[in-house]
Chain A
């Protein structure tokens, strides 16, 4: 009997490793920007390109930068949820329209509604690259000092919103 204990133990260790490994999403690459200052940018606003929006002007506020695009399928899933989140007033949500054509972006918002305080146009993806964006939607929770405190890769699920973002925002707003 005892001769089976070691192989069985090794097998269980292997199972544990595989169970952890397989339940993790390989597409979620941890961002090195967590707890680092959010890269500065100044971009034209989507709805009124004569006005600009910059990360610097958000100093003193806790806010979310949500990266979206009209070509992004998962953004479409996330979109109705953003309305709900915005309605709670817990954190203002700003959009970064990433690698998109202005007309397409405006048409998308026209069709589905606009949950954002405002969106900035990152047409050539320069700001996106600075933020380490590799797939929309991605969301950054930025604190009053302009430091990124949390990054959500993929849609913000109600679970993430309620259990992570809202408590963290409350903490940061203290």
Chain B
């Protein structure tokens, strides 16, 4: 009896794994699907902005994937398709922003901050060094130093 229940449970578990298979790609051309998947990774879904077009399940993302697939079938290059999308949705649709005057701050800003930080650090350290002047030894100190050194030199 116990075995039967266990078998049943196991079967149930398997039933779920079987039903949880991956969705079939819409086109039958695996080469094209691969190209689509690669390109979709470079694109942002505008509905859920932190997702790529490849990951998003939003309706718009599905429409756009269908649109890209269609254009690929029509023989358009990836570059042409990207241009098509940026013409309509703007540069924001690119997941990796291109390096151009409007994105200089985005790309180089962190390095500017790093440089500024280093400059501040450098100046601070320099300033501190000046704050601690090298005081010359007093005569008393000098005498003691010589005494100690002499003591060391003597064989024990």
Residues of A in contact with B (beta carbons under 8 Å apart): 26-27, 29-33, 99, 124-126, 128-132, 134-135
**Contact indicator A129/B49 (Cβ below 8 Å):** no
Give the distance in Å from the alpha carbon of A30 to the alpha carbon of B90 in the complex: 7
Give the distance in Å from the alpha carbon of A32 to the alpha carbon of B46 in the complex: 14
Give the distance in Å from the alpha carbon of A33 to the alpha carbon of B87 in the complex: 7
Interface residue B67 (Cβ < 8 Å from any Cβ of A): yes
Given A99-B59, A99-B63, decide whether A134 and B46 contact each other with a Cβ distance below 8 A.
yes
**Contact indicator A32/B49 (Cβ below 8 Å):** no
Q: Taking A125-B63, A134-B60 as given, write out 13 further A-B residue pairs in contact, using a Cβ cutoff of 8 Å, ordered by the A residue number.
A: A29-B46, A29-B89, A30-B90, A31-B89, A31-B90, A32-B87, A32-B89, A33-B88, A129-B63, A129-B64, A129-B67, A131-B88, A134-B89
A153 to chain B, nearest CB (A): 10
B51 to chain A, nearest CB (A): 13
Number of contact residues on B: which range applies? 10 to 19
Find chain B residues with CB under 8 A from A30 CB: 90, 92
Closest residue on chain A to residue B45 by CB atoms: A134
Given A29-B46, A134-B46, decide whether A129 and B88 contact each other with a Cβ distance below 8 A.
yes
Give the distance in Å from the alpha carbon of A168 to the alpha carbon of B92 in the complex: 27
Residues of B in contact with A (beta carbons under 8 Å apart): 46-47, 49, 59-60, 63-64, 67, 86-92
B49 to chain A, nearest CB (A): 7
**Contact indicator B49/A27 (Cβ below 8 Å):** yes
Find chain B residues with CB under 8 A from A132 CB: 88-90
Give the distance in Å from the alpha carbon of A66 to the alpha carbon of B67 in the complex: 22
Find chain A residues with CB under 8 A from B64 CB: 129
Find chain B residues with CB under 8 A from A135 CB: 46-47, 60
Find chain A residues with CB under 8 A from B86 CB: 32
- What 9 A-B pairs are tightest by C-beta distance, nearest first? A134-B46, A132-B88, A32-B90, A125-B63, A29-B92, A132-B89, A134-B60, A129-B67, A29-B90
A167 to chain B, nearest CB (A): 25
Give the distance in Å from the alpha carbon of A128 to the alpha carbon of B66 in the complex: 14
B63 to chain A, nearest CB (A): 5
A126 to chain B, nearest CB (A): 8
A150 to chain B, nearest CB (A): 16
Give the distance in Å from the alpha carbon of A132 to the alpha carbon of B85 in the complex: 8
The winner among A30, A124, A125, A128 for most chain B CB atoms within 10 A is: A125
12 pairs, CB–CB < 8 Å, chain A vs chain B: A26-B49, A27-B49, A29-B92, A32-B87, A32-B90, A124-B63, A128-B63, A129-B63, A129-B88, A132-B90, A134-B47, A134-B60
The winner among B59, B86, B89, B91 for most chain A CB atoms within 10 A is: B89
Find chain A residues with CB under 8 A from B49 CB: 26-27
Give the distance in Å from the alpha carbon of A11 to the alpha carbon of B63 in the complex: 44
Closest residue on chain A to residue B63 by CB atoms: A125
Find chain A residues with CB under 8 A from B46 CB: 29, 134-135
Closest residue on chain A to residue B88 by CB atoms: A132
Give the distance in Å from the alpha carbon of A125 to the alpha carbon of B46 in the complex: 15
